């Protein structure tokens, strides 16, 4: 059940998105990560500022939260994002083990505003040879050695 606190954090994510428009820092997106009722990270989209296509609000907030918490594992965290996460951000949310996502705008709303990720969703459904992006399998016999070594390493930390 959504609470007044959830709405407070979502309003902050929305305010970050709006602030990005007036500051010209990036696209109209904002994200806030919370753990145990405390904000551990917040960011607007920084694609334009950093000239980095991966600097979406969610990714930037995840990076900041990991640094602030000293961990790559954000279990126990909730992310509030002004828009339904794109495929890249959704993947990062899964990798970070964030427990819950609240989002404001939908991906349809984003498409109507000129941020259409539908082509990525469609590409991911296709077999690799049928994708627009030219992907080539090369030197697997050599590349597999890294995974073999990883499997034999006692000091590894799985994630």
- pLDDT tens digits along 133-155: 888 888 989 899 998 888 888 88
As a whole number of angstroms, the distance between CA 31 and CA 44 comes to 6
pLDDT above 80 (res 70)? yes
User: Mean pLDDT in the chain?
Assistant: 93
- pLDDT tens digits along 12-37: 999 999 999 888 888 899 999 999 99
Question: Nearest 10 degrees: CA dihedral of 110, 111, 112, 114?
Answer: 90
pLDDT above 90 (res 157)? no
Q: Find the range with the poorest average confidence among 4-18, 38-52, 121-135.
A: 121-135
Q: Which residue among the candidates 18, 58, 142, 155 is catalytic per the annotation? A: 58
57-69 and 87-96 helices cross at what angle (nearest 10)? 20
pLDDT above 90 (res 77)? yes
Query: Exposed, middle or buried: residue 13 (CB in 10 Å: 0-12, 13-18, 19+)?
Result: buried
Answer for the pair 43, 61: CB distance below 8 angstroms, yes or no.
yes
Handedness of CA 35, 68, 99, 151 (dihedral sign): negative
For residue 118, indicate whether it is catalytic: no
Answer for the pair 34, 81: CB distance below 8 angstroms, yes or no.
no
């Amino acid at each position: 059940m959504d609470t007044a606190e959830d709405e407070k954090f979502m309003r902050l994510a929305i305010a970050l998105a709006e602030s990005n428009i007036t500051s010209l820092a990036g696209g109209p997106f904002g994200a806030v990560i919370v753990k145990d009722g405390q904000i551990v990270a917040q960011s607007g989209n920084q694609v334009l500022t950093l000239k980095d296509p991966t600097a979406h609000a969610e990714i930037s907030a995840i990076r900041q939260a990991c640094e602030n918490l000293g961990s790559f594992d954000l279990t126990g965290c909730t992310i509030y994002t002004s828009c339904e996460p794109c495929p890249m951000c959704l993947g990062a949310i899964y990798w970070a083990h964030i427990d819950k996502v609240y989002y404001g705008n939908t991906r349809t709303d984003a498409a109507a505003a000129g941020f259409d990720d539908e082509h990525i969703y469609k590409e991911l459904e296709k077999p690799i040879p049928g994708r627009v992006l030219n992907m080539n399998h090369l030197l697997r016999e050599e590349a597999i050695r890294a995974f073999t070594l990883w499997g034999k390493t006692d000091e590894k930390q799985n994630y």
